[in-house]
Structure 1
Amino acid sequence: MNTALDPVPRPLDHLAEHGADEDPALILKSGKLSFADLRERVARLAAWLAQEVPEKGARVATWAAKGELTCLMPLAAARAGLVHVPINPLLKHAQAAHILSDSGAAMLIGTPARSKSLEEGDVPPACRLINEQDALDAATTLGGHLPPSDSDPDDLTAILYTSGSTGRPKGVMLSHANLWLGAVSVADYLDMGPDEVTLAVLPLSFDYGQNQLLSTWCAGGAVAPLDYLFPKDVLKACAKHQVTTLAAVPPLWVQLTELEWSEEAVVTMRRMTNSGGALTTDLVRELRATFPDARLFPMYGLTEAFRSTFLDPDLVDTHPTSMGKAIPFAEILVINDAGELAKPGEEGELVHCGPLVAQGYWQDAERTAERFKPAPDMSSYGGTAVWSGDRVKRDAEGLLYFVGRRDAMIKSQGNRISPQEVEEAALATGLVAEAVALGIADERLGQAVHLVARAEPRAVNAEEQLPKLLAKELPNFMQPQVIHWRDTMPLNPNGKIDRTALKQELSS
């Protein structure tokens, strides 16, 4: 950004005030909206929402593809004093029903097709169903304009539901300050400016996806939302809109690097960001080859604290597997099993402190208490911290490295095995494009290592060669007992490989 990093949060809807009137803010299929248009439409939609749902703090859900409504709602709901609950459009009626019931939504704005998919009992009696286009039309004809809000930055403004990898999805409560400071932080360390065009391919119900909007608008740039069917759609959109910023998760990056990119799609790219899983050394190499002039930002985050770390692009070639260091407004501590600050090279739990920490899980005090605990005594922020459950190490230079999740570690023959280590060994052979290591119950071993793999398209005799190469690279206790080959990997609604689905399949 061209402005100094400002640590003072404001009401979230004030982000609409950042761009110059004539500059593009939103690039829709129907045409471009300038920042003046954005401010006008947020004001109108907020006025309509306040009229329809007058109770401050009421939850309003949206269930629609990316478009004007879903892009405006984070700001419009905040201005109206409501709490936005975006539902991933890829979810089915049962998941949507859980979110509506759990959040106590007073209104659901959705597309006709999604509304028709809801079955009897899915919509709580107190929840009104509104058609997406009807909402936009009503906001336009109402004639009202709600001015920028004076909400307390600590007020709740959004509930983002996790993908539910363990149990039912839980709602993470986010304040104006959480989202505002997240936008300022990302716009700053990505060095974004008003001439940016961000291609928003990630779900807006995903914290990483929603921040595509907020950080770009914070910098005064434009967002082009895209719901893609095929990876080639992303390539075409990059060329069409002269995209400067592209955010994705590893499964999508893998698919994108398997395409032939045109010069037109590559030439304007300034930066790529990754979260939702670690980049492999080979994938980093392929991204650098495809986008030689773009800066690559590997990042680590968790919905409960938005984003925790990023790796300086200048270090990507020399430290390709590092998570980097804390982003602005985040304090990251590594706490060992004795509750002390871990020494360099010592494994410990990643603990995130500071103003990006969410307010807990919606109406779930028990799970909130498990994850949101007092910050360690050595924290400079104090207050509540997110104890992530992720095991990491910090090297002598202060760079962090992911070891694995405590609950994902494979315990075989008395050994603790990091799934990531097995996966990295498989990927390093060059025979595998994607790999997932899982611990499956075994009477003799406790857990047996199972590897699910998708072959690299150019690999020869991958099924025959992979076991031989792993035998050379991994100790006996880490060897996969079974390798399952897949043509495609199952993905969860946020585009990440669905490890839970794979484990359920292999355990049945």
Structure 2
Amino acid sequence: MQANIRPLDHLPLVGEPGALALVIPRGETIDFAGLEARTGRLAHWLREQCPGVGTRVASWLPKGALASILPLAAARAGLVYVPVNPLLKRTQVAHILADSGALLFILPPNRRLLLEAGDVPEGTEVVDEGVPNGIMADDGQPALSPSSVAPDSLCEILYTSGSTGRPKGVMLSHANLSLGADAVADYLGLRSDDRTLCVLPFSFDYGQNQLFSTWRGGGCAVPFDYLLPRDVAKAVRAHGITTLAGVPPLWVQLVEIDWPEDAAASLRRLTNSGGALTRPLIRRMRERFPTADIYPMYGLTEAFRSTYLPPALVESHPDSMGRAIPHAEILVVRPDGSLTEADEPGELVHCGPLVAQGYWQDAERTAARFKPAPAASHHGGTAVWSGDTVRRDGQGLLYFVGRDDAMIKSAGNRISPTEIEEAAVTTPGIAEAAALGIADERLGQAIRLYVRADPTHDEDALADVLKAALRRDLPNFMQPREIVMLSELPRNPNGKIDRVALAEMVTS
């Protein structure tokens, strides 16, 4: 590990004197000195509750000061933090508690009422959020100083959303999280006068990095839980937000609403991950937020973030994933591990210090995904073999082709659902689309396309328009057998289109 990597809990130390670090809507404001003090007090309390180094502490919290500071405090106390997505159901929460072996579980009273007997393992102490909130706010409480933990020490376990079976825990080190904050703050150009509206879940690596990268740049984070897209627009206006991170389904919703001119104008940068931005969506984002830079990004929890496309290239290369972010080495390889030629599809392999430590208590799945880096790697060591097929053009820009487990195999053709979906959303009136393969005795798989129409369009008329557009733009083997109009596409807890739920609709 690099000697200059700081532990995660050192992040609050970078703010300018008196600069705000955290603004809680309808609540308190906390400067960087206050963030440091609260981190130290909470860390001291956590160590008293969980004296063993590496003990897991879990939380199931709404966004607020406690949810924002807990990851720093747990890191300082030498514990391993396990944030639980507030949108998960009790069975998933019970699995995470049992699987992680958390000895402390912090949550609000209303969420405790959602749990049933047996959901919390014996030996796990359940604590009301009011207790640590009181500790943080009490100036008389003792505090721990910043830690000096080894950079490769386990810091967090982030559980996947559970869209493909039970959630699995990805093990992240201090270095993974600290370098991730460095990288994003660097390429986004975050600075002390920036304000980030944190709308994504803190249990999501992309969502948590909203906090860490903002603080690394010396800026202010505004945690925000919203019900409706217009709530986001109001918050951007109320807090002078400059930075907004989202996933494609959220951007689709945000461009469909009316924005006050001054709110849209305050945004300097829009970042996207969790799925590709389509050309029509990029166009609408530019129209709605004309002064903001757009940063398309690609990442996976097992290696945090892999690539980003600089805003200057979005116009000329809107379909590209961009190039490697700082601290990441991205290779495109053939099945034998050799590097592909320009425009030759291959598997994306992520090497370098952002690579996670594997899956918690799951050696089999760890061995399948975390394997020795290809011989061409400069970093060597363990790499994440993503399972994603990409290609690199002659300029070194990467393009997503598809996931091996999502590719549709029809009549001997390997079809990327993304290509069908992008063709669908170029049709005026189609807001979102998701393509799936369904079993077919003759073809192997036929294509079913789910779409959500813009509410201003007539669905019956639009279906015919869409069919004609797809016949015009796609070859015969890529034509959907069925087009299903839905008022809403199902989403997983991270806001992405839930393809597993759609697949269950196919078989139901």
**1:74 partnered with 2:57:** no
The residue that corresponds to 2:229 in the other structure is 231
Equivalent-residue separation in structure 2 for 1:89 and 1:503 (angstroms): 24
Counterpart contact for 1:354–1:381, Cα < 8 Å: yes
Counterpart contact for 1:7–1:329, Cα < 8 Å: no
**1:22 partnered with 2:18:** yes
Equivalent-residue separation in structure 1 for 2:5 and 2:281 (angstroms): 36
The residue that corresponds to 1:478 in the other structure is 478
Counterpart contact for 1:46–1:77, Cα < 8 Å: yes
Task: Give the letter for the 2:297 counterpart.
Answer: M
The residue that corresponds to 2:164 in the other structure is 166
Determine helix, strand or coil for the equivalent of 1:157: strand
**1:124 partnered with 2:130:** no
The residue that corresponds to 1:463 in the other structure is 463
- Please point out which of 98, 102, 111 is paired with 1:101: 98
RMSD, aligned CA: 1.2
Q: Deviations over 1:387-406 (max 9, x none)?
A: 00000010111000000001
Determine helix, strand or coil for the equivalent of 2:266: coil
Counterpart contact for 1:25–1:35, Cα < 8 Å: yes
Q: Deviations over 1:199-223 (max 9, x none)?
A: 0000000000000000000011000
Q: CA deviation at 1:467?
A: 1.1
Equivalent-residue separation in structure 2 for 1:395 and 1:444 (angstroms): 36
Counterpart contact for 1:16–1:217, Cα < 8 Å: yes
TM-score (norm 2): 0.97
Determine helix, strand or coil for the equivalent of 2:303: coil
Q: Percent identity?
A: 60
Q: Deviations over 1:256-306 (max 9, x none)?
A: 000111112112211000000000001101111111111100000000000
Determine helix, strand or coil for the equivalent of 2:501: helix
Equivalent-residue separation in structure 2 for 1:62 and 1:339 (angstroms): 40
Task: Give the letter for the 1:289 counterpart.
Answer: E
Equivalent-residue separation in structure 1 for 2:439 and 2:504 (angstroms): 11
The residue that corresponds to 1:36 in the other structure is 33
Moved more, 423-432 or 256-265: 423-432
Q: Deviations over 1:378-434 (max 9, x none)?
A: 000000000000000101110000000011100111211110111111112223110
Equivalent-residue separation in structure 2 for 1:116 and 1:487 (angstroms): 32
Counterpart contact for 1:48–1:139, Cα < 8 Å: no
Q: Deviations over 1:488-508 (max 9, x none)?
A: 111100010111100111122
Residues 10, 101 of structure 1: CA spacing in aligned structure 2 closer, same or farther, 3 A cutoff? same
Q: Deviations over 1:175-225 (max 9, x none)?
A: 000000000000000011011100000000000000000000001100000
- Please point out which of 418, 421, 424 is paired with 1:423: 421
- Please point out which of 89, 92, 116 is paired with 2:89: 92
Counterpart contact for 1:20–1:36, Cα < 8 Å: no
Moved more, 114-123 or 379-388: 114-123
Unaligned stretches of 5+ residues in structure 1: 1-5
- Equivalent runs, 1:330-479 vs 2, <5 Å: 330-460=328-458, 461-479=461-479
Task: Give the letter for the 2:156 counterpart.
Answer: A
Q: CA deviation at 1:21?
A: 2.9
Task: Give the letter for the 2:148 counterpart.
Answer: D
Task: Give the letter for the 1:487 counterpart.
Answer: S
Equivalent-residue separation in structure 1 for 2:369 and 2:52 (angstroms): 30
Moved more, 334-343 or 296-305: 334-343
Q: CA deviation at 1:352?
A: 0.2
Task: Give the letter for the 2:134 counterpart.
Answer: D
Task: Give the letter for the 2:168 counterpart.
Answer: K
Q: CA deviation at 1:7?
A: 8.3
Equivalent-residue separation in structure 1 for 2:137 and 2:261 (angstroms): 41
Q: CA deviation at 1:140?
A: 4.1
Q: CA deviation at 1:139?
A: 4.4
Moved more, 318-327 or 463-472: 463-472
Task: Give the letter for the 1:211 counterpart.
Answer: N
